[in-house]
Amino acid sequence: MGVRARPAHARAGREPARVTLPAWRRRSPPSRAGCETDAPVETYDTLAGVYEWLVPEPLLSPAGSVAAFEAVVAALEPGARVLDCAAGTGTLAVGLALRGLDVVASDASAAMIERTRALAAEHGARVEAVLCAWAQLAARVWEPFDAVFCVGNSLAHAGPRAQRRAALRAMAGLLRPGGLLVRTSRNWEQVRERGSCLLLAEQVVERRGRRGLPVHAWTIADDWDARHVLEVAVGLIGDDGAVETHAERLDFWPFGHEVLDEDLRAAGLVPASTTYAADVPRYLVSARR
């Protein structure tokens, strides 16, 4: 999230507390003249420092993160070249490197890349970590990769369908013939069915000896192709009860599983497998070049 990016507030068989937003918060996000097709500018720099509070505990370590993709990783040859192109804090990239793979990690967030480099150094893992947005991938001079990972919610932030397909084409272009793209996705059909709402974690989350409360505020547009908004906040609670808030507003463009299949094919990839089901919150899709 096991898929790498499962939300921190989720627990087996239970939903996080839900608060229906008042009418003024349920409106579709406003358009910005001339900018409706622009790629989003948010890069998770603010959330990078508190990302642990948003990630389930089993996925916090490199070993736990890579274990979520055991079937995929086990099929790769020792020393296979792998790109994690939405590396975040680097747990998956470092986990892959510790499994004997030749790993490059990229992310559009400078703060996330700093965390990836620090984690690799902490574990003595060899990871080439580079600050690079998807639009810049084609300009990188890299040997072809055996596998490219794009996991979590990252693809929904790429922009509307044209930008999403451009990002997938850039990933496909880095694969060797027969190479594998591995990506995970939130079940956006469920998110849209739930509608605009405020989701609070069921309990305080403790990381690094500090307690925090994750909050997700969803603003769902009327149309699938319109800009949606997710406001994410983590309130860190001090010993004196004071709250230190870290928050970001993230634009996103959701997509259904059938649309994702079409986008992969448009990018020159052949879908190979999917774990999608209507009742699961997240799923994994693989495709070959």
Residue listed under structure tokens 């299949």: 261
Residue 4 falls inside a structural domain:
no
* Predicted local confidence at residue 131, as pLDDT: 95
Is the pLDDT score of 25 beyond 90?
no
Average confidence (pLDDT) over 36-41: 37
CA-nearest of 180, 94, 77, 99 to 129 is 94
pLDDT at 141: 85
CA–CA distances in Å: residue 260 to residues 245, 255, 263:
34, 7, 5
Among 268, 252, 226, 27, smallest CA distance to 157 is for 252
Look at residue 3 and tell me if it is in a domain: no
Average pLDDT of the chain is 88
Question: Which structural domain range is residue 180 located in?
Answer: 17-288
Q: pLDDT by residue (tens digit) across 178-193?
A: 999 999 999 999 999 9
Please tell me the total count of domains within the chain. 1
**Section 243-264 average pLDDT:** 97
pLDDT at 155 over 80: yes
What is the reported pTM?
0.85
Examine residue 11 and state whether it is found in any structural domain, yes or no.
no
264: number of Cβ within 10 Å? 23
pLDDT for position 194: 97
Residue 48's DSSP bridge partners are: none
pLDDT in tens, 120-150: 999 999 999 999 999 999 888 899 999 999 9
Is residue 2 in a domain? no
Which amino acid is located at 79 in the chain?
Answer: G
Per-residue pLDDT reduced to its tens digit, 177-233? 999 999 999 999 999 999 999 999 999 999 999 999 999 999 999 999 999 999 999
Quickly state the pLDDT bin for 7 (edges 50, 70, 90): very low
In a domain, 6, yes or no: no
Query: 71-109 in b/e burial notation, b at 16+ Cβ within 10 A?
Result: ebbeebeeebbbbbbbbbbbbbbbbbbbbebbbbbbbbb
Is 249 a domain residue? Answer: yes
* Average pLDDT of span 21-28: 37
Interatomic CA distance for residues 59 and 27, integer angstroms = 34
Q: pLDDT tens for residues 62-87?
A: 999 999 999 999 999 999 999 999 99
CATH code of the domain covering residue 224: 3.40.50.150
Q: Tell whether 168 is covered by a domain.
A: yes
Beta-strand pair 210-219/197-200: antiparallel
Is 225 inside any structural domain? yes
